[in-house]
Amino acid sequence: MVYDVAIVGAGINGSLLAYKLQEKGLKVAVFDKEVASGGSGAAGAFLSPKFSKSGELKELINTALDEAFSFYESRFGEHIRFFPLLHIAKNEKEAQALRLMKQNGEVPLLKNPPFIPKEEFVYTSKSAIVDAKAMCEALLGRAVFVQHVVKNIERKKALWHIDEVYKAHKIILATGAYKHLVHETYLEKAVRGIWGHRIDIKTSTTIPCSIHQYLSISPTQGGKSALGATHDVHFHPQAGTPYDYEAGRAELLQNASKTLVLENVEVLKDYVGLRSGSFDYLPFIGKLVDSERTFERFSKTELMRKPPRFETFSYYENLYVINGSAGYGFVLAPLLARLLSGSIVDGEEIPSLLQAARFFPRYVRRNF
């Protein structure tokens, strides 16, 4: 069997991209050890605005948020639930951003929050929670899911060969911060892994809305709530040291206690995984630059010129990536998948701000 597209990674990015490519008529296979087994499964899967001062990331996330609400609700409404959000500032810098947002009317405000925090806050209806695993499974739809951890990909005779067993015309890496299947230093240096730990809890305290401050606290549903996630940039599951679940749970409960008192808490279940961020904090999609071939064609001086001309670089044939969404994976995925599928199938241009190629000239400038 030769697939039109093979996607490595069945998190929210890989699953949503599979959905978009199937909509365009392609035969898609998705490879992973299980659906939403990494950072997507450990995520709180909250949909909410970015509460900060202006910037490229805030603009991107808030634009993507509207698309995410529309996409999930219209296509998979059974896997998304809308709840009010009480977002509380962690520090004075964030408090200033919240005041500015309220002054500018950037989000719809609700009255009468469940409690009045001492710190600056926003209480808004622009918030929802996605059932992460159920959403990813639904998005896969008619795609072939192959329960297999990919170890090697190789280009031979105009096809991508996956572990010498599977074949595809095109391949897309949606692997997050886990092992890279293409050894490009510029790409490896662009990605930063963020280990996340979330817990489901049972508590006698009723939580009527989503609460975000030092972590995210979900509203009570079916007698339970969720706390998460931790943000550990030092731990990596492939480093050999086992993860300390007890310490992770203690950190989550301690952070929650800074916001409200949770009584009679029982930890029901743990979810852990690596989320993938980038060192410029923006996600990245598109073709991967073949650095060896590009260095053969250009001098380092030419590659360091600004602005870089992405279109002149040499790329791996029919190899793409979607990555770097950090804690906003479920917000960004519909927009990123739409852009990448449009590029792959229809030749539409990806905004330079999001192109994976942007990391190559930055690497050259910093290292040569």
Give the pLDDT score at 134.
96
Give the pLDDT score at 238.
82
Instruction: Please state the pTM of the whole predicted model.
Output: 0.95
Question: What does the radius of gyration of the chain's CA atoms come to, in whole angstroms?
Answer: 21
Give the pLDDT score at 280.
94
- pLDDT above 90 for 6: yes
Give the pLDDT score at 135.
97
- pLDDT above 80 for 368: no
Using an 8 Å Cβ cutoff, are 228 and 252 in contact?
yes
Residues paired with residue 323 on neighbouring β-strands, in sequence order = 284
Please state the rounded mean pLDDT for residues 306-319.
94
Q: Considering only 23-37, 73-87, 117-131, 224-238, which range has the smallest mean pLDDT?
A: 224-238
Helix segments in 82-130, DSSP class H: 92-104
User: What is the crossing angle of helices 132-140 and 12-23, to 10°?
Assistant: 30
Give the pLDDT score at 305.
85
Using an 8 Å Cβ cutoff, are 320 and 173 in contact?
yes
Percent of the chain with pLDDT over 70: 100
Give the pLDDT score at 12.
97
pLDDT in tens, 251-276: 999 999 999 999 999 999 999 999 99
Cβ count within 10 A of residue 237? 16
pLDDT in tens, 127-166: 999 999 999 999 999 899 999 999 999 999 999 999 999 9
- pLDDT above 90 for 14: yes
- pLDDT above 80 for 179: no
Candidates 105, 36, 52, 30; CA nearest to 330 is 36
pLDDT in tens, 190-231: 999 999 999 999 999 999 999 999 999 999 998 999 999 888
- pLDDT above 90 for 367: no
